[in-house]
Amino acid sequence: MTELPTPENPLRIGTRASPLAMAQAHMAAAALIASHGIDRTALEIVPMTATGDRIQDRALAEVGGKALWTRELDAALDAGTIDIAVHSLKDVETLRDARFFLGAMLERADPRDRLVVRAGIDAAAIADLPQGARLGTSSPRRAAQVKRIRPDLETVLLRGNVATRLAKLAKGDADATLLAAAGLERLGMHDIGAVQGSDVLLPAASQGAIGIECRADDVATRALLAAIDHAPTHRAVMAERAFLAALGGDCRSPVAAHAVWQDDGTLRLDAEIFSEDGADHAAGHAIIAHPGAPEALARRLLGEAPDSVRRLFSA
């Protein structure tokens, strides 16, 4: 039987200090309490400020990529000052250090994007935005998708947590932006923005998924996490991440990938890769019937893609 944490020997839950990350850490704590009957006082949430949260004026690709979201948590986990780390998996590098183990994913929330516009603009879809409108984003995927739909739109850098981006939008730094529906829901912002269909804006790999890591050699904590793992989410998200790994892309590579369980019990992975301006792309899907299927889809799309797309990936 797995030994449970106690108030005297609590399980320390590391998280970024942003409101959304804190909400996700509390979701992880609630799942552990519900599954194991752990006393709430036996769980300690340890917030820390990630480098990515401190840098607001540049695209992450220019200053270190996704590691800027995980560096501090990784160091604390490795040093033993926290026992688990709760992540928005979209922000976690595809290839992780072997010292860490992804022990659980909570059930995925809505993976789609929402379009949010500033006051005075009436638009529920990209196609509705005014001619030449400025859409703020730091995501190469979103920028390429938007430009593919509306080449006349200008994409401008918009970074920060949800509240910061909404404040910048209200100030007029951009006319519109795209935010993850899952994050808005977790913050209680149920009425903010209009959901965009996955057929219009295919989501980013791992979007809407919360991952919980521990040290690979921490057998007791691995057992705790195994009980709260949502296996369908885990399998779908790992297919998306395997596709990313096979592409060899980085934070500058515009790519979308989303795996969905079908009514017949099969897992379908849809994916798109783009040129930076969205003008060129390759798209396809695969049924994930064996472990190598995501990689095969990546090879196929790279083979079909024009050079303007292929050069953005290192596979």
pLDDT at residue 1, as a whole number = 59
The 3-state DSSP class for residue 281 equals strand
Instruction: Report pLDDT digits (tens) over 143-182.
Output: 999 999 999 999 999 988 899 999 999 999 999 999 999 9
pLDDT at residue 10, as a whole number = 96
Q: What angle do CA 165, 167, 172 make, to 5 degrees?
A: 95
Instruction: Report pLDDT digits (tens) over 181-204.
Output: 999 999 999 999 999 999 999 999
Residue pair 263/234 in contact (Cβ under 8 Å)? The answer is: no
pLDDT at residue 54, as a whole number = 53
> Phi/psi class of residue 208: alpha, beta or left (left: φ > 0; alpha: ψ in -120 to 50)?
left
Say which residue the tokens 């780390």 belong to.
85
Can you tell me the distance from the alpha carbon of 309 to that of 286, in angstroms, rounded to the nearest whole number?
A: 20
Taking the whole predicted model, whether its pTM rises above 0.75 is answered as: yes
Is residue 261's pLDDT more than 90? yes
Q: Of these residues, 53, 74, 91, 270, which one is catalytic?
A: 91
Instruction: Report pLDDT digits (tens) over 26-67.
Output: 999 999 999 999 999 999 999 998 665 555 555 555 444 456
Domains in the chain, CATH or no CATH each: 11-108+208-229 (3.40.190.10), 113-195 (3.40.190.10), 240-310 (3.30.160.40)
Is residue 263's pLDDT more than 70? yes
pLDDT at residue 3, as a whole number = 83
pLDDT at residue 271, as a whole number = 98
Task: Report phi then psi at 223, rounded to 5.
Answer: -65, -40
pLDDT at residue 65, as a whole number = 46
Record the tokens describing residue 223, joined without a space: 């057992």
| Of residues 113, 115, 143, the one with CA closest to residue 129 | 115
Instruction: Report pLDDT digits (tens) over 77-97.
Output: 999 999 999 999 998 999 899
277 confidence band (pLDDT: 50, 70, 90): very high
Our answer to whether residue 270 is catalytic in this structure is no
Residue 263 carries which side chain, given as an amino acid letter? D
Can you tell me the distance from the alpha carbon of 213 to that of 299, in angstroms, rounded to the nearest whole number?
A: 29
Is residue 313's pLDDT more than 60? yes
Is residue 68's pLDDT more than 80? no
Is residue 122's pLDDT more than 50? yes
Counted residue by residue, the chain has a size of: 315
pLDDT at residue 59, as a whole number = 52
